[in-house]
Each structure stands twice: as structure tokens, then as C-alpha cells.
Chain A
């Protein structure tokens, strides 16, 4: 690990300012991803601002009937919260499908959103990686790319965003609240938080340096049945090959409302609005699910090793929708 100085932030604005004034400074909370990367010297901050004890660890009701989740709420506490379990079950399911019990006890809500890709070339400092070293190239394009993106990628980077939680939050239309170094606050729709790689894959989010996530707000629970389904190489403690977050509301045998987001396939949690348009108003039949799945993967491009993800994602979408309508 490279040497660094450490301070514990006294409040949100001081934390944001402490990072903003040092170009190589970073926030640290649970540290489960950052310390992993620091040990490998992929992350080399010279100063750490510890925000883990800031009073951002509460889950509160919003006046609109939603929930405001503090940025420092641990993944395990969020998954176990009775309100989340009853009103946003797909969020609990997604959290519980991710990481291990030990990691969930440390990982924070904001840290989960901001975790970095697990692309093996990003992790291997002997290989080119435009995300780790801009301009060096992408070894995954012609390499072992079984885990990589089929949607939203570029010729500069085909890494995927690894979060399960963020996929469920994307289907739930979450809003991300931040504090800027000057003390001002802003709100970012979760779909606008992560950036696509294009030619600058090292720029991963819309956040400025020193801008700190303080909360994630969920609007009132959408009507219908929520299901989160994760497909992976082993039954537990593995990243998604493909995951699906679906909300389906029925009226008779027709679909009245639908929301669909997929994970493990793109550089960000991937909301599939076109597939939702296909579903709304359609009969709750296998053909509608197939049409939605085709629509969701319409622009997908395989790179060899990950070609299988395209049919796998379609099957996972069909299966998840079929489960969701059963109880809708």
C-alpha cells in the first residue's frame, strides 16, 4: 500500500472540503473495495477522509411515502430493514445476493454505488487498461472477456458495473443526494450517476472531486410485484453474469405497469425503457416477455467470451417476468 495520511471527518461539509482541497484524496467508509484496490496499488490516494462515522446512518420515511436511506447505512442493515423488506423487497433481494455477510456488515450504501469494476485487467497492473491508466488500451477487448459488457461499452472499455443493489435502485427510480465542497446540495437521478465509458472510461460518475453522496431516496413503492433474479457461476458470493430487477403490475390478464433493469451486462445499472414500453398494455404471456427480452438486448454486442450473455440475459428476463406476473 502507498503511504497516506488519515483523518476522521467531523461533518459532511468538512469531509467534502477535505477531499476537494487535495487532488489525491479520497473518502473512505467501509473500505471493502477501496482497501482491496489500495493493497494492489491500483488506488493510490495520499490522504483518506474517513466518513464512516458521520450521522448518515438512518433510514427515514419521506413526506411522499418513500424512504430516504442515509449514505452510511450498511448494506446488511438496509437489507434487513422491515420497511425495505415489505415495500421494496427487490432491494433486499439484490443486497442479499451480493457479497458475503462480513462484507455487507461493512459496505455502505454510497460505497456500494461507487464501487469499481472487477474486470481482471483493471486489477492486473501488468496489463493495459484505459480505466486504470488512460490511453494504455483495453486488454479485455481481445482477452478473456467472459464477464464483460454486452451493452453500453466502447472500444476503450468493456468493463461492467458490479453492483446488485444499484440495479434494484435503478428499477425503483432512486435519487442520489450529494453535498458539494462549497456546501451546496444537489440531487442526481440514479440513471445519471454512472457514466458510460465512451473514450474516457476512467471518468465513472457524474460526481465532482470532493462531492459526497449523503443519501439515496426511494420514491413510494411502485405498484405490482418486485423480483430480483441473479445468475452467477456459483450459488453464493459471486458477481452476476446477468441479473434482472423487474416490477410488474397487472390488471386482469394485461400488464398495466412494468419496470425492468438488468445488471452484469453493462458499465452501469441498465434500465431497459424500450422493453417496458413493450410490456405495458400487453397480455401477460410468454410472447410479450420474449418481445421485451429481445427489445432489452436489441443493441447488444458480444466480444467472444461474453457472447453467451446475450441469450442468457434474454432467458433471465423472460423467466423473471414470468415469476413476477405470477404474484402480481
Chain B
């Protein structure tokens, strides 16, 4: 039924035209499939849940240059004042802000693996000969208000009690911690699915044992590019520094009102300091993901341009073929071909070319993906992207060729009689 063989023969009379279009379609498929894959990867990254009520949170930095105060005391006064502002749900001084791009990381271990140089008795470290597990962890330090300010849920265990908080230069070691669920699954893979049982386990840092007393469902750390972003820990410690920051949770609709007041209230409490511009978590998120956002936007533009150019190429080729074959079309019409036959002829011709282009394009997509994988830290292209792009190019081809084909069908059969 399909007149593939005559169409193919006619196409072969102008091989270079067909070949150019095939190359163009193949390249388009290869680029679009890979670009779409990169876009999707980035969108997945950007849409990860930080575990926080981001719209309710903002932070600001305080830099005290005055030397006439006790910083410990001042931090407490600041906190009390901030928590009393109408609209504020809770506030805390904290060492790092989630998804802000800069913060503290430390390696925690599942046992104290420091070899005891002075003792030859191996039984002291008899537990196991395998090296201790090292887990890169984002470290938050704050007081009992940390959980409530972050707005994260405990799935097991309890919050810090007031007497567990270590202030300023108090030297006793930290003995308890709250960790994220992802921390438990990384540190103790055997507890996967039973993370609640992580409560009571010991972890080590600087040879100090720390007991896990609580587990939160989800809490990301500050560096969004890090592969360890989900592994976090909260330590009950307030460090005394002249440069510290506050995280504040308000009702979402009150946020701006509170932000507007904060600097004046802080300076009224103690003037010899600088309050840095408050930043909302939404702002920090946008900032942290700015590169990914730009990449997705630029790649989307690239895809649109490619589809546009390829559609133009198909239209151009079809128009050229129609014009070149005006007489033949007229003759076919005069010999009884219907308008539908003519349209079908061009559609099938284009469909053949598109298919050849797609076959070549699949090979090119895989090659390009392999090249990108070798050169850059990109994951392997998922086949579904090639499929989706194939379908898009099919549809694009059909749409692009339809109008020139319809125009061809309008050619009058009389044209056949005129010039012969």
C-alpha cells in the first residue's frame, strides 16, 4: 500500500539533500537527548526537599566589634529578644545555615580507630580489624531551640535538655547528638529501614564518644553540591565568637515584617556591632542553585533553537522538492492521484528521512553521552530520553512537512498539460 520503493528511488536522485537532512536530524536527536537528560538531572537536584519549612526561615549574621561585652551573655540576650518579637516562632544562634553554600563538615566514625601507640596489647582494639567507618557529615551547633527553629521532625528519641548544652568556652566534651535519618543509614547500613533503633548508638569524633539521642527525618546541610548533603548532625554547643549568625522561623506572612525590624532591634540592644543584610532561605536556595538554574535555562534555549532549525530544514527541503516536482505532481494528479495521495507521498518521503536520521541519531546520542561521561562527571544517558526525543522529532517532522505537502496537493493537474 505504501509506495515506499518509488519514493525511495526518487529520493536517491537527490541523495545529498536527503543526506543533509538525515545528518541534521541525527545531530538534533543526539544533542537534544543529552541536553534534556542534563536538564532533568539538574531539576531533580534543585527540587530535592531540604526537610525545612523554607518559606518561614531567614538568617542574618552579627559581627560584634565592641570589646566591652560578654559575648555569651549577649547571645542569650539577643536570642531572648528575637524570640519575643511578634510573628517569630523560634530563633537560634547556629553555626551554619542549611543550603546556604558554606558551612562546617566533619568526619564521624563508628568506632575510635586511633591506634594506641603505647600499648602492644591488640585486645584493646579487638572489636574488629576492619577500619572504622568514616562518614562525612554536615555539623550544626545550637541549643535546645535548634530543632524547633529548623522546623524538623524527630522520628525517634528526644531533643537536647538544657543541661546538655555546652556554652562558650566550657571545656567538657560533647556527649550527645541528634542526627539525620540519612546519617544513620550511612553510618549503620544494617539499620536501613529500622533507623529508629539508631537511638543510643555511639559515634566518634576526635576520639570522643557521642551518644545519639534523637533522629530527625530529614535535614540537609549547607553545601548543595556535596554528595554528603543528607548526612547531618546537630551538636548541643554554642560557640562564642564575635561573628555569629541567627536562624529565625516566623509565620510565612510575617517574615518581611520581622526582617524589617531586626537590625534596629539588635543595634538597640547593643550598638557596637554590624548586622549583615538578612537573607531568606528562599534567597539562599536560589543562590546555591544559581548555576544549575542557569544550565537548565540555557540548555532549554538550546533545545528550542535546535527544534526550530530542524523544522526549518524540513520545511525548506519539502518546499524545494515540491517546487522541483511541480510538473510530476501535476501529471500524477492528471492521471488520477487524489490530493491525499500527493500529501501522503511527501509525508512518507519525510518519514523515511526522519527514520534514517533517528537511527543514525540513536548511535550519535550514545556516542555523545559516552564522550560526556568520559570528559565530565555526567551520569550515563538514560534510554528514555532518546525515546522521548525520537517521538518529539517524529511529531516535529510530521508537522513541518504537512503544510508544504498540502500546498503540493493544491497543484492543478492542468499544469501537466501546459509545458509538455
Chain A partners chain B = no
